[in-house]
């Protein structure tokens, strides 16, 4: 078959452990994705914690996303997951999430929790497709920059 775009065939993103060299990029993606962004020093501190799993999503030479979880005994909480805005809507988050869950399972985690803003449809679709179910609801849990209060859903998924 003819290749209309020589050298432009799609590359697959790779999930890898994040390193201290990634903190500026991770902080930039986080800051552009969430109302209260995490700084480089917060990522550095988390990378040094044995109970925190931080994985990056790399496409060619670009880090385009990440997932962060904190593990306690056989439970984990996904603290943050984000894809660079320029790479959203291409299904990249599913592979990142599934690989991340696999690593949590490999570390003995049996149950994963997370909080998601009730109206965050891309995130809710992502988690629903990954098998998360609603375990609770927290009224007016998030406060937006403009003062608007938003509800959080607590989601849960068993890994065993």
Ligand X SMILES: CC(C)(COP(=O)(O)OP(=O)(O)OC[C@H]1O[C@@H](n2cnc3c(N)ncnc32)[C@H](O)[C@@H]1OP(=O)(O)O)[C@@H](O)C(=O)NCCC(=O)NCCS
Of the two residues 108 and 138, which places its CB atom closer to ligand X in the complex?
138
**Stretch near ligand X under the rule CB under 6 A, chosen from 20-28, 41-49, 77-85, 104-112:** 77-85
Give how far Cα 136 sits from Cα of 72, 105, 108, 146, 153, Å: 20, 23, 24, 26, 6
57 binds ligand X (CB under 6 A): no
Instruction: Specify the DSSP class assigned to residue 145.
Output: T
- Residue 101 lies near ligand X (rule: CB under 6 A): no
Residue number with CB closer to ligand X (108 or 129) = 129
Q: Calculate the CA 102 to chain-centre distance.
A: 14
What x-and-dash track marks residues 123-152 binding ligand X by CB under 6 A? x-xx--x-----------------------
> How many C-beta atoms lie closer than 10 Å to residue 102's C-beta?
11
Q: Which one, 27 or 83, has the nearer CB to ligand X?
A: 83
Under rule CB under 6 A, residue 35 binds ligand X: no
Residue 47 to residue 41: CA distance in whole angstroms: 10
**Alpha-carbon torsion angle 135, 75, 123, 145, nearest 10:** 90
Question: Which residues would be at the binding site for ligand X (CB under 6 A)?
Answer: 33, 81-83, 88-94, 116, 120-123, 125-126, 129
């Amino acid at each position: 078959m003819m290749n209309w775009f020589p050298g432009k065939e799609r590359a697959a993103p790779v999930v890898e452990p994040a390193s201290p060299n990634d903190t500026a990029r991770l902080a930039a993606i986080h800051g552009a994705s969430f109302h209260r962004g995490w700084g480089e020093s917060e990522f550095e501190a988390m990378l040094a914690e044995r109970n925190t799993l931080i994985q990056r999503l790399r496409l060619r030479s670009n880090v385009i996303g990440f997932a962060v979880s904190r593990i306690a005994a056989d439970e984990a909480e996904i603290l943050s997951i984000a894809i660079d805005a320029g790479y959203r809507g291409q299904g990249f988050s599913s592979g990142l999430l599934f690989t991340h869950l696999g690593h949590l399972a490999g570390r003995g985690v049996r149950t994963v929790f997370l909080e998601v803003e009730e109206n965050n449809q891309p995130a809710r679709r992502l988690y629903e497709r990954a098998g998360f179910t609603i375990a609770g609801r927290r009224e007016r849990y998030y406060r937006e920059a403009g003062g608007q209060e938003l509800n959080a859903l607590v989601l849960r998924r068993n890994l065993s």
